[in-house]
Structure 1
């Protein structure tokens, strides 16, 4: 990820158009005209090999002829010329370019190299950033920049729109202008050869002029880069996505149930939720969501009250809410009595709250005050249909101050046209989200609800290797069990096998404490009889063949065998059937399993699939032979924790059934979620496992049992955890240390450290907190604690020193997207100050940043924090006091220490 030189792309001081032309309707002519008409204030230089005058300006023959290096170059020349032009621009000093030209993914003059790759090779020595190729261009209305061939200008505003579709860009711009919607930036990415969604999210996520980011996505190239940037941007402002390609065409060829169910669109949806973004289905919904989310209000919960002066409109809104799974607020007795006093006799006495069509202004305000004060109401949908009794502007003027000062979200719906136009405009000007129909208003509320749910998921980034307790109290795999599982996978790969046999699959699950049915392998019918006698009857017999994955489809499964004769006869008949129906299959024998007692158990499916973009994902849903037809499943990106695993279960129909119904005992939910956590650990630990399918996984009151499992293995293309879209907890950074004679554990902070960190801050003296946070504070808010603990290990790091189970000190660093600079902060518990712990923590952090390749470390402290200044001086920082009562600390790191491997324990 990199934001290097993107400021020159979005805020250039000078622009050259390479290929500018006076020929009407040519690409160069349209781009030049848009730039001139956009009102860009800086120098504009047209470049064309054929001398001509464009709008009274003489063209320059080539890049070298330009008077200065332009901050931004817009290139409209034929594809074959692009690499040479990029090289000339780089040598001139330009560091940002927009390549409008299409057709660069064809061979260049260099064998084996496309024109696009040649362009990137030419840009790389100069760190010249390229937007495109094959794009419409870029518009930044606030500075009059229209470096595009879009049919018109964009209005200034505070929404950024990013799109991979050029046709959609022009349509969206035209539509937005009609609706008077403005943009901070309007960007067409085209082929995203260099600048991609991750780069733009990093840049716009911290852009003060951008209130929300809207994206039209067709594909993602670099999943971890995208997820890291999206998580960072979504913490700052709403990021709303509409994606094309919802049909699960890629899943049809999958060999296992999990592969078939985990279609790419489903995985993308899970990624959006995990990143804290919001996904919508249409462009209209994209703009509606932006209107709702761009004016944040305190979120209280999902219970919505509908206030209306029209019964029919209220019923439409209530229907839309309940049909889409929303939650209507149930009014308390206190609220009903308060509304009785404010409303006419005979009002609906329920939700929707119908205040009758003849309502004067006072009735609106009185009813609204009751709902805003009601603790059982989390949000209000305020609806008004025009009447001849009270003008809509009067109602707006009286009610909008209440809405703005509300401690909960309020959405306005002004039904009608001309009569309510002024009220609608006033609402929008006051920052109250406003819609024209009941259905769109409810959809906006549900978007807000989904967004808040996703924001909670954003706070979850658990570690991969932390032990989780199973339902029976057993811990997750110890190092020996993990190595045993790796050995099973390695042996299959050495044998050239793509699938583990059933005995191996069950053994691997047992390494991860997933309960399995007793299983044995037999080569002959006689061995099957002996195995059955050893396991105990009744047993199940299954054919064993690498070419037969779905055994029941070919008569390869017989259940409930109760004697040796039944096992022997079934084995012979089974092999005969398979030989007839699947003659190409190589049968190596049978698996014999103890029959599971399924009474009171529900069939589930749980497993792992590998998405081509986002890597391993964990799947959960209803199992059985008709699993693909039912489609009741949820997807999660590893690593998971308890919250995320429980959320996966809750988002399925079978998850609700597991809680028990109509006298049926609930399943052991801890055992179900523990299984998902162990699958997450497998996905993180075992790079060779690309598909894992437990179907059925039986779940009942006394736990879970894996009855059948398929595991597909493949030599990993990426080493370590690089295949994961989210970097898991880096356990390799843990190390022991001795501080002033006491043993301590130095480790990265974990998501479950929230209470420990809270206690750490609570025990600090007021002066320590002032020196750490530059202001007096006693309590660190929960949201801030969560942010400090649930970090993105790809771009920040916090090390804590553990004195037993208590935090004795912390040091943290946040790196910029280019890894050029890291800002650090440190705090040590009072009882550990002046004992060397601060020095140990700083050494740990500096060593980590050097190995990460960070160029320099920066920090600030108050002038009276002499201990911090002394520690920085000791560690090689330059220390400089300024007139603003601050001390600035800076240290350049040793680039020779950088390596791909993380900091290792010493």
Structure 2
């Protein structure tokens, strides 16, 4: 994950095309032609071992070493077997970036037997050369007249970046975009992605001021951790829209080894993109439709939609599509209905959708828009028009644009037809109003906007505190360690119950017996009906993949109420066990009293692990196998209560819980608490490969785990989203007041205390921290401060018990933002005005310096107002270099944490200095 040398890729001043010739169909010749046709303003050269003097008028050399200069970018179009050698020589000559367009390298092998693309990667790494590809269409930067591709046409300049994976898909995207007037800031494909990956490009584009939105086409994500970290940062500042192809096993280019409990890999990608704040769409058409609404419409104040058209039919079609997609119709106010009645025929329906009648004039359209603009219930309006003999399409379009101008309405349009409405669509495009060809596409694009806003909202929701991040779970650690030492890859049923109990989950009271005689002894104590389950090694593993015959296996007998029934029941269970699982070691029986006052809707929840994407939390229906698989939803840990409820809300069982539970809110909360706990288990105990609770039922105290199964793996599974770093917590005692303070990383749940901390500071302290006076901090402001990616940011807070004993308060905070290359971090620190003289500021700064130094960050920088003398004194004490910045009128602070380890790091730091 690095933006190293990407500036040379995206903004080269000189380019060499290796392998170009004037032979018809020559790949390098095509690329060189595109560079010339695009009028690339920099220096061009060609290398071809056949020793041409010129290729299409561009000077050619036989060897790379004969160029006489070091180009910023090399484009390699030579046969596959030659590419590793070419890459090595380019790196040795000091070239920083290369685009390898040669295809087939994943299917052409070297002498070692590995595909040649790995040889390209290894050759590049030896010299630090960055490589885009192999098998890439290349790169376009239209605003800089750079077309380094073999595409059949040039892209228009614009402010949208496209990062694809397939060259053929990319070619069609260019064609599509030109036809729709969509321009690009950058346009490229990764190809095999041996070096430069999605995460590198997203990091670069997130910081690029010329890029307003990022479009992604992906077939796979080789580095999911880096991808998640990069895209979560990018999606907070600009829309990221993704198409992920290969949704079913038949279309996967590289078959995905599925984790236990899942039948398809696509839900994993869905969970990733949703968690990252990315809008996932089903195809290229939806991608560009969503781009229309996301870049041309304001953020939605409401999610409901008002619809009007010059006829009933289009409105009905739009409403049907809205209902299919789970949308909501806006309810018109009485004032709007009365006002519309004055301009519409007496027989109009007096409700949404609004039928303006087939003969509606531009004035009628304009008046209706203005009436709805005054309605507080209406925030979004779809205006439709079907061609008629009496109407003028362009005049009506202009009237709608003019009426909507200056209002708070989000207006988008659907002008049905083709030949007679094209000028109207052009008028909407020029006015920045999204316009679509049919009602279904218009409503789908609107709902994409709704979906994007929902996933964005998940990034800033304030979760309530539930999981105890500071609890001790040494008992579980001992159980897991002992089992692995015994070479067991599972925990027994009894051990699995102890694990979830230690994490605070309730389980059904269960007794364990080695044989039938012990079962009889248990029954004889109070002679109440019991349920008996046979235990063996196979059923200790979660998410069992049963054969059709094993699906008929009966492992439990219920409501047994006599000695003879117990003997017969245990004999039956032994027969079933030996019939279906003859090779599975016998482990005894579990006995539960039949009536323990639990019941209700049955859930199946747990943890599974993907080899690439790490642990996953699953939730859905329990019961028949077909119900479980069709309803199972997944999410990435770590979870909080907001994310857990979103996961639960995707299941069919959630709807049943809402409708049929006697205590829906209590039961919903109980399931969410269980999901958050499972997430914490996955993080705390990475050797747990899978955990299944099935069923999860309910009693008066919450959720109850009836059956629990856990299996293990010596190789720990790490989540792709960095969890809360508990190891960084420490407690200190303030020397002046004697108060005990815990210094720890910030949590999303800290938002209320964090807001109170900022709002209680003096105006001067606020000015020193934010370089301006601020009285109030919005939810969005503070959410950005506390909901961080621990891989990119770090915030340490100092919390202590309030003096009135009512919970904790925040007394100080220090934060750093680190660039994608871990070269430089920018810091900011603030301490409560009441803490003067306690040394809390220096303690927070020392902790942050220690942390950044340990993670290999090269230097720490910050800006301080010239009159902020306490901070300047602190910085001097800590060894910062302090310089006055005349342009910004601030003091620049710089502290070297580690020495640069490579030349590119030195160059980057010098350029930023």
TM-score range, shorter chain: over 0.9
Give the 3 Å change call, closer, same or farther, for CA 301–262 of structure 1 in structure 2: farther
Matched, 1:562 2:565: no
Match in the other structure for 1:322: 323
**Equivalent of 2:727 in 732, 748, 751:** 732
Q: For 1:490 and 1:632, locate their aligned partners in 2 and report how far apart those are by CA, in whole Å.
A: 34
**Equivalent of 1:810 in 803, 808, 813:** 813
SS at match of 1:2: coil
Q: Which aligned pairs between 1:594-633 and structure 2 lie closer than 5 A?
A: 594-597=593-596, 601-628=600-627, 631-633=630-632
Match in the other structure for 1:901: none
Q: Unaligned stretches of 5+ in structure 1?
A: 469-474, 898-906
Q: Which moved more, 1:882-891 or 1:226-235?
A: 882-891
Per the TM alignment, residue 78 of structure 1 is displaced from its structure 2 partner at its CA by: 2.1
Q: For 1:617 and 1:581, locate their aligned partners in 2 and report how far apart those are by CA, in whole Å.
A: 30
Per the TM alignment, residue 106 of structure 1 is displaced from its structure 2 partner at its CA by: 6.7
Q: For 2:282 and 2:141, locate their aligned partners in 1 and report how far apart those are by CA, in whole Å.
A: 26
Give the 3 Å change call, closer, same or farther, for CA 501–532 of structure 1 in structure 2: farther
SS at match of 2:135: coil
Native 8 Å contact 2:858 2:900 kept in 1:
no
Native 8 Å contact 1:603 1:624 kept in 2:
yes
Q: For 1:404 and 1:237, locate their aligned partners in 2 and report how far apart those are by CA, in whole Å.
A: 24
Q: For 1:560 and 1:716, locate their aligned partners in 2 and report how far apart those are by CA, in whole Å.
A: 42
Matched, 1:793 2:790: yes
Q: For 1:624 and 1:402, locate their aligned partners in 2 and report how far apart those are by CA, in whole Å.
A: 56
Matched, 1:885 2:885: no
Per the TM alignment, residue 459 of structure 1 is displaced from its structure 2 partner at its CA by: 2.9
TM-score, with length taken from structure 1: 0.92
Match in the other structure for 2:643: 644
**Equivalent of 2:871 in 864, 868, 873:** 868
Native 8 Å contact 1:157 1:182 kept in 2:
yes
Per the TM alignment, residue 819 of structure 1 is displaced from its structure 2 partner at its CA by: 0.4
Match in the other structure for 1:5: 5
What are the superposed Cα offsets for residues 421-453 of structure 1, whole Å, 9 maximum, x if unpaired? 222222222222211110000001110111011
SS at match of 2:421: helix
Q: Which moved more, 1:344-353 or 1:108-117?
A: 108-117
Match in the other structure for 1:904: none
Give the 3 Å change call, closer, same or farther, for CA 343–766 of structure 1 in structure 2: farther
Q: For 2:212 and 2:180, locate their aligned partners in 1 and report how far apart those are by CA, in whole Å.
A: 18
Native 8 Å contact 2:463 2:642 kept in 1:
no
Per the TM alignment, residue 815 of structure 1 is displaced from its structure 2 partner at its CA by: 0.3
Native 8 Å contact 2:462 2:751 kept in 1:
no
Native 8 Å contact 1:515 1:705 kept in 2:
yes
Native 8 Å contact 1:518 1:535 kept in 2:
no
Matched, 1:513 2:517: no
SS at match of 2:448: helix
Native 8 Å contact 1:461 1:792 kept in 2:
no
Q: For 1:638 and 1:533, locate their aligned partners in 2 and report how far apart those are by CA, in whole Å.
A: 45
TM-score, with length taken from structure 2: 0.92
Per the TM alignment, residue 696 of structure 1 is displaced from its structure 2 partner at its CA by: 1.1
**Equivalent of 2:823 in 814, 820, 823:** 820
**Equivalent of 1:478 in 452, 467, 471:** 471
Match in the other structure for 1:273: 274
Native 8 Å contact 1:227 1:726 kept in 2:
yes
Match in the other structure for 2:44: 44
SS at match of 1:236: coil
Q: Which moved more, 1:305-314 or 1:660-669?
A: 660-669
Native 8 Å contact 1:692 1:712 kept in 2:
yes
Q: For 1:38 and 1:156, locate their aligned partners in 2 and report how far apart those are by CA, in whole Å.
A: 12
Per the TM alignment, residue 262 of structure 1 is displaced from its structure 2 partner at its CA by: 6.6
Q: Which aligned pairs between 1:153-172 and structure 2 lie closer than 5 A?
A: 153-172=154-173
Per the TM alignment, residue 596 of structure 1 is displaced from its structure 2 partner at its CA by: 5.0
SS at match of 2:862: strand
Q: For 2:551 and 2:18, locate their aligned partners in 1 and report how far apart those are by CA, in whole Å.
A: 65
Give the 3 Å change call, closer, same or farther, for CA 539–121 of structure 1 in structure 2: same
Native 8 Å contact 2:694 2:705 kept in 1:
yes
Per the TM alignment, residue 840 of structure 1 is displaced from its structure 2 partner at its CA by: 1.4
Match in the other structure for 1:527: 518
Give the 3 Å change call, closer, same or farther, for CA 244–572 of structure 1 in structure 2: same
Per the TM alignment, residue 833 of structure 1 is displaced from its structure 2 partner at its CA by: 3.2
Match in the other structure for 2:848: 845
Per the TM alignment, residue 323 of structure 1 is displaced from its structure 2 partner at its CA by: 1.8
Per the TM alignment, residue 853 of structure 1 is displaced from its structure 2 partner at its CA by: 0.6
Q: For 1:206 and 1:335, locate their aligned partners in 2 and report how far apart those are by CA, in whole Å.
A: 45
Match in the other structure for 1:749: 746
Native 8 Å contact 2:598 2:697 kept in 1:
no
What are the superposed Cα offsets for residues 363-419 of structure 1, whole Å, 9 maximum, x if unpaired? 222222232332222321122223344423333333324435343532221222233
Native 8 Å contact 1:298 1:408 kept in 2:
no
Q: Which aligned pairs between 1:461-472 and structure 2 lie closer than 5 A?
A: 468=467
Q: For 2:257 and 2:519, locate their aligned partners in 1 and report how far apart those are by CA, in whole Å.
A: 27
Give the 3 Å change call, closer, same or farther, for CA 746–342 of structure 1 in structure 2: farther
What are the superposed Cα offsets for residues 705-743 of structure 1, whole Å, 9 maximum, x if unpaired? 21122222111245xxxx202111112111112334332
Per the TM alignment, residue 207 of structure 1 is displaced from its structure 2 partner at its CA by: 1.5
Native 8 Å contact 2:462 2:783 kept in 1:
no
Give the 3 Å change call, closer, same or farther, for CA 886–836 of structure 1 in structure 2: same
Give the 3 Å change call, closer, same or farther, for CA 476–855 of structure 1 in structure 2: closer
Q: For 1:588 and 1:810, locate their aligned partners in 2 and report how far apart those are by CA, in whole Å.
A: 53
Give the 3 Å change call, closer, same or farther, for CA 580–809 of structure 1 in structure 2: closer
Native 8 Å contact 2:80 2:108 kept in 1:
no
Q: For 1:650 and 1:769, locate their aligned partners in 2 and report how far apart those are by CA, in whole Å.
A: 40
Give the 3 Å change call, closer, same or farther, for CA 734–662 of structure 1 in structure 2: closer
Give the 3 Å change call, closer, same or farther, for CA 415–578 of structure 1 in structure 2: same
What are the superposed Cα offsets for residues 654-696 of structure 1, whole Å, 9 maximum, x if unpaired? 2122124498877622211111111111111111112211111
Matched, 1:494 2:485: yes
Q: For 2:59 and 2:899, locate their aligned partners in 1 and report how far apart those are by CA, in whole Å.
A: 48
What are the superposed Cα offsets for residues 567-590 of structure 1, whole Å, 9 maximum, x if unpaired? 222112321333234433332322
Match in the other structure for 1:698: 697
Native 8 Å contact 2:620 2:628 kept in 1:
no
Match in the other structure for 1:339: 340
Q: Unaligned stretches of 5+ in structure 2?
A: 802-807, 902-913
Give the 3 Å change call, closer, same or farther, for CA 653–773 of structure 1 in structure 2: same
Q: For 1:389 and 1:536, locate their aligned partners in 2 and report how far apart those are by CA, in whole Å.
A: 87
Native 8 Å contact 1:461 1:639 kept in 2:
no
Per the TM alignment, residue 360 of structure 1 is displaced from its structure 2 partner at its CA by: 2.5
Give the 3 Å change call, closer, same or farther, for CA 57–626 of structure 1 in structure 2: closer
Q: Which moved more, 1:584-593 or 1:449-458?
A: 584-593
Q: For 1:849 and 1:731, locate their aligned partners in 2 and report how far apart those are by CA, in whole Å.
A: 16
Q: For 1:531 and 1:129, locate their aligned partners in 2 and report how far apart those are by CA, in whole Å.
A: 70
Q: For 1:248 and 1:416, locate their aligned partners in 2 and report how far apart those are by CA, in whole Å.
A: 39
Q: Which moved more, 1:793-802 or 1:165-174?
A: 165-174
Q: For 1:715 and 1:250, locate their aligned partners in 2 and report how far apart those are by CA, in whole Å.
A: 33
Q: For 1:537 and 1:696, locate their aligned partners in 2 and report how far apart those are by CA, in whole Å.
A: 23
SS at match of 1:97: strand
SS at match of 2:414: strand
Q: Which moved more, 1:655-664 or 1:331-340?
A: 655-664
Per the TM alignment, residue 193 of structure 1 is displaced from its structure 2 partner at its CA by: 0.6
Give the 3 Å change call, closer, same or farther, for CA 462–337 of structure 1 in structure 2: closer
Match in the other structure for 2:767: 770
Per the TM alignment, residue 244 of structure 1 is displaced from its structure 2 partner at its CA by: 1.3
Match in the other structure for 2:710: 711
Native 8 Å contact 2:637 2:683 kept in 1:
yes
Native 8 Å contact 1:666 1:701 kept in 2:
no
Give the 3 Å change call, closer, same or farther, for CA 536–669 of structure 1 in structure 2: farther
Q: Which moved more, 1:47-56 or 1:499-508?
A: 499-508
Q: For 1:711 and 1:705, locate their aligned partners in 2 and report how far apart those are by CA, in whole Å.
A: 17
Give the 3 Å change call, closer, same or farther, for CA 389–712 of structure 1 in structure 2: same
Match in the other structure for 2:137: 136
Give the 3 Å change call, closer, same or farther, for CA 476–235 of structure 1 in structure 2: closer
Q: For 1:262 and 1:852, locate their aligned partners in 2 and report how far apart those are by CA, in whole Å.
A: 39
Match in the other structure for 2:211: 210
